[in-house]
Amino acid sequence: MRRIIVLLGPPGVGKGTAAVALVNSFSFGWLSSGELLRSVKQSGSELGSTIAGFIDNGRLVPDQLIIDLVEKEILRSPDDCYLLLDGFPRTLPQAASLEEMLGKHGDQVGLVIELTADLEEIERRILSRKAVEGRADDTLSTLRHRLEVYQRQTAPLVDFYEARKKLHRVSGMGSPAEVVGRISQAIQNALKIEPISQKKEAC
Ligand code: AMP
């Protein structure tokens, strides 16, 4: 059975940074929808340029497009691992589709971590990421649009998962080590699993 952990939170809150640390310490599989889309964008295909038109302007790609891409990756992942989803789902139709798809395979979302941080901190993190990674969508004006999109389209997922008793809210303020420590604790409490010393190759 695949067990899914969803990392939810606005752009710049630190989902990617936390994901890398969690994947290493718990040996989770990891699927970042943003990374998946950026790799298709860079492939130079027609689909890649369609995707670039959305990402570079801070808009969400159409639901069906990302649902198809992500679902294919989930089904390719080993079914005896925890899989950390970073950036998906981002809309109610995506969440409903994920639930339906997992249900068909006897899998389910086990836990949703909502990471939160102050707006000033999010802006500071995005600008320092821009300096390091040079992402086209990490400008202040695109960030403000992405935050609006988050409030309108993604924030309703908090109620969706709260109603299913899956949601754990974690503060994303402080150093990466502090944030990862809080998330690890939430995972250990909710799922009764421990960090492991040896990486499971399959995951
Ligand atoms: P991220 O790396 O998660 O910040 O995502 C970068 C961009 O990829 C987003 O601003 C969207 O344009 C696009 N994207 C990532 N995940 C999704 C998703 N689940 N649904 C729609 N668009 C997405």
pLDDT of residue 27: 92
**What confidence score (pLDDT) does residue 40 get?**
97
CA distance 79 to 99: 16
State residue 1's pLDDT score: 85
pLDDT of residue 150: 97
Distance 192 CA to ligand 1 centre (A): 30
**pLDDT of res. 79:** 87
CA dist 171 and 44 (Å) reads 38
What was the pLDDT predicted at 95? Answer: 98
| CA 45/CA 47 separation, integer angstroms | 5
For residue 147, how far is its CA from the centre of ligand 1 (angstroms)? 12
pLDDT at residue 100, rounded to an integer: 98
Q: Which atom of ligand 1 is nearest to the CA of 89?
A: 19
Contacts of 77 (CB under 8 A, 6+ apart): 2, 29, 31, 83
What type of residue sits at position 145? H
Cα Rg of the chain (Å, integer): 16
CA nearest to 114, candidates 18, 23, 36:
18
Nearest to 166 by CA among 118, 108, 125, 119: 108
60 C-beta closer than 6 A to ligand 1: yes
Distance 128 CA to ligand 1 centre (A): 19
Question: Quick check: CB of 14 below 6 Å from ligand 1?
Answer: no
CA 52 to chain centre: 19
Q: pTM for this structure?
A: 0.96
Question: Which residue type sits at 32?
Answer: S
Choose the residue to mutate in 90, 97, 130, 147 for probing ligand 1, maximizing ligand atoms within 8 Å of C-beta: 90
Q: Do residues 60 and 148 lie in contact, with contact meaning Cβ atoms separated by under 8 Å?
A: no
Each residue's pLDDT, cut to its tens digit, for the chain (203 residues) gives 889 999 999 999 999 999 999 999 999 999 999 999 999 999 999 999 999 999 999 999 999 999 999 999 999 999 889 999 999 999 999 999 999 999 999 999 999 999 999 999 999 999 999 999 999 999 999 999 999 999 999 999 999 999 999 999 999 999 999 999 999 999 999 999 999 877 777 88
The pLDDT of residue 203:
85
Does the CB atom of residue 125 touch ligand 1 within 6 A? no
CB atoms within 10 A of CB 94: 21
CA of 82 to the centre of ligand 1 (A): 22
